[in-house]
Structure 1
Amino acid sequence: MIDENLWQELESRQRTAGRSTRRLHPESSHDLHLAVAHPTLRRMLLVGTDAKTADIIRPEIHELRATRGLQLNLSSVTGNRYELQVVLTDDELAEVFTPLVSDIADVILKTPTAEAAAEAMVRRYVRWQQLLRSVSREGLPLRSRAGLFGELYFLLTYAIPAVGERTAIRSWTGPQQASQDFQLPGAAVEVKATTSRSARSIQVMNERQLDTTGSTSLALAHVVLDSRQSGHGQSLNSLVNEVGERLTSPSSIRRFENLLVQAGYLQSQRDLYDHDLYTLRRDEFWVIDDGFPRIVEADLPFGVRECTYTIDVSALDTHSVTSEALVELIRGTHD
């Protein structure tokens, strides 16, 4: 597990120029290391690869846009050995860097070859670039704040009580841009939160969100919120704290903190989230089964992609389930 203590140990190892390194996942065939350069104390993730793979990914790296505080470099080590380096160049992003390298390392571990690992690393780096560009000095956009609040509400109210904290935290995939927000033991769940006054429609962002291909069961949760700047309600910060206090496992706590960063919620911006207060108006649930109004990838004509559409809630009555039935579904204990 990558944490601040490990970085500090690497930073204190030597006083001369060079690098302190620590191998990650030594049981893996992939050559993964954390490193700190001396005397600059620049933190790095290093991934070893071969010359053939380096030739394949070099054009992709050269085409990457610059991002404040981060660099992705390809460096020659020996004749046939190269090194991919993710480098933290701005200490203001230190709280982002640990979740970033943990996420990239996890993605690499799932790949079978050095070439696949390098390509996955570049793709994941690009996703983090997009995340960092989307989080401005004003913090998350209002819609994203409500969306994160809805996911955390579902995590705290339904997922953790149903399957326990470790499984629930591992199942929360919304911050990782998965097709659905939760991949629970018995079902995937897509959570839609809204502060709209009418709240009688649901926007589906792409053709995969409600696609049951590859999923045993799929449910849709609609969390309808009131939002105000004063009075009664719960802030996003308060809900984050409440979930954190519910967790007892150190690994679950670290994963939760990393996922918050991936969602664009940064500790350094917490003061931005104290004033928006949310009150639950209602939550409602539907099972995605035969006859559910949706568009999936198989429905798209050739050449059409990235489909966004809106569902009228009034058309979903026959697919409605109670919260108790939803809990049984996500546990995998329904009939």
Structure 2
Amino acid sequence: MIPNDTPWSGLEAGKIDTRRISAAARWNWFWAVMPRADVALVLQLLNLPQPAPDLPKLRNLDIRFQTLPGGPILYIRLKDNAQLELFETLCRDVMAAGELAETEAEALERAIGRTFRWHYLLRGGKLDVLPEEAQKGLIGEIEVLKLLIASLGAKPALTAWTGPSGAPKDFELKTDCIEVKARRGASQPFVKISNEHQLADVPDRHLWLAILAVDKVQPPHGRTLTEYVAEVTELLEWTEPSAIMDWDLHLADAGYDVLHDYSAWRWIVSPPDFHTITEGFPRIAAPVPLGLSGVTYALALSACAPFRARWDDVRSGLVNEGQQ
């Protein structure tokens, strides 16, 4: 039973029954009730995208393309009506994102990308904001990601960003890997290495360690995590909108939720210092003696100094890789 105080009230089950959301909308959005009485948001399209983009896979949502007698559609269907109120908020947010587009193809990209923003929450992820250490770590990775976007382009850089998925290295490219460490500038001159795999060699790849100072400051100084995220989102919206979907998915995997309030924390970040991990670099790396695992240790910055490298040195190898 659909409550009367929802946008879907009055629509009939047993068929796809729809109601246009707004005659003033730029694109053709509809509230819909599907044959099994499931509520949905529908975007009517002139053409199906070729090739079809990846769609979010969410536990409580069904997101698909379908061709009807009136033309193709994208629909987002709620499987569990217990989440009806949250689903309405999602639908309005998705539509608002799509309405910013100048073309139908861009509207579709924005709608799918915004749905990815929600996937972490709706798949049962944590509802809490990221703790301070996780905020620092994400900001550090975003700063390195920005350098890679400038050098390689958005999509190759996002493909290389493997840290949020739990990979051993934060960035993995064809011939290079980058591990990122964020630290407080005023803390002891060490960085924490979380396990023996972080600085372990990768066959046929060069390994770099990027260290950044990420410090908490008082207003009006610094920026919130939300603002660091928004900077990259705006960059992608202007330069490569088709990459926003990948960006949103990475953020969700990192535990970032656009609905969370990060205004209580403001941060300043230094440019990253890069180090080449070669023979002689101080580290405990896999393989470790049999019976040991999860080796955590403190790495002194002074011991890393002889292995400092310029970003230009790192970038030249990455650019050459991108041309292969």
Distance in structure 1 (CA, Å) of the matches to 2:292 and 2:114: 36
Unpaired runs of at least 5, structure 2? 1-27, 41-50, 64-78, 91-112
2:170 to 173, 178, 181: 181
1:146 to 136, 140, 148: 136
After superposition, the CA RMSD in angstroms is 3.8
The residue correspondences of 1:205-216 to structure 2 (distance < 5 A) are: 205-216=194-205
3-state SS of 1:318 partner: helix
Question: C-alpha deviations, 1:84-135, integer Å up to 9, x for none?
Answer: xxx77746499799649989xxxxxxxxxxxxxxxxxxxxxxxx76xx24x5
Question: C-alpha deviations, 1:237-277, integer Å up to 9, x for none?
Answer: 111111111113333101101111111110110xx212322
Indicate conservation of the 8 Å contact 2:116/2:245, yes or no.
no
Change beyond 3 A, Cα 1:204–1:150: same
1:191 to 154, 157, 180: 180
AA partner of residue 149 (structure 1): I
- What's the counterpart of residue 55 of structure 1? none
The residue correspondences of 1:193-272 to structure 2 (distance < 5 A) are: 193-247=182-236, 248-269=239-260, 272=261
Runs of 4+ more than 6 Å apart: 8-11, 32-36, 93-97, 100-103
Indicate conservation of the 8 Å contact 2:182/2:212, yes or no.
yes
Change beyond 3 A, Cα 1:288–1:34: closer
3-state SS of 1:207 partner: coil
Indicate conservation of the 8 Å contact 2:225/2:266, yes or no.
yes
2:161 to 169, 172, 177: 172
Distance in structure 2 (CA, Å) of the matches to 1:18 and 1:275: 39
3-state SS of 1:267 partner: coil
- What's the counterpart of residue 16 of structure 1? 36
Q: Does 1:297 align with 2:318?
A: no
Distance in structure 2 (CA, Å) of the matches to 1:35 and 1:196: 40
TM-score by length of 1: 0.61
Sequence identity, in percent? 27
Unpaired runs of at least 5, structure 1? 1-7, 21-26, 37-41, 46-86, 104-127
Larger radius of gyration: 2
Distance in structure 2 (CA, Å) of the matches to 1:234 and 1:217: 33
Identify, as 1 or 2, the structure richer in helix.
Answer: 1
- What's the counterpart of residue 80 of structure 1? none
The residue correspondences of 1:12-91 to structure 2 (distance < 5 A) are: 12=32, 14-16=34-36, 42-43=60-61, 90=83
What is the CA distance between 1:225 and its match in structure 2?
2.2
Indicate conservation of the 8 Å contact 1:182/1:189, yes or no.
yes
3-state SS of 2:273 partner: strand
Distance in structure 2 (CA, Å) of the matches to 1:35 and 1:16: 19
Distance in structure 1 (CA, Å) of the matches to 2:57 and 2:301: 49
Indicate conservation of the 8 Å contact 2:216/2:266, yes or no.
yes
Change beyond 3 A, Cα 1:9–1:170: farther
What is the CA distance between 1:145 and its match in structure 2?
0.5
AA partner of residue 309 (structure 1): Y
AA partner of residue 153 (structure 1): E
Indicate conservation of the 8 Å contact 1:225/1:280, yes or no.
yes
Distance in structure 2 (CA, Å) of the matches to 1:203 and 1:153: 19
3-state SS of 1:290 partner: coil
- What's the counterpart of residue 67 of structure 1? none
Change beyond 3 A, Cα 1:166–1:282: closer
Distance in structure 2 (CA, Å) of the matches to 1:232 and 1:100: 28
- What's the counterpart of residue 310 of structure 2? 322
Distance in structure 2 (CA, Å) of the matches to 1:289 and 1:279: 30
Indicate conservation of the 8 Å contact 2:201/2:207, yes or no.
yes
AA partner of residue 261 (structure 1): A
Distance in structure 1 (CA, Å) of the matches to 2:174 and 2:211: 20
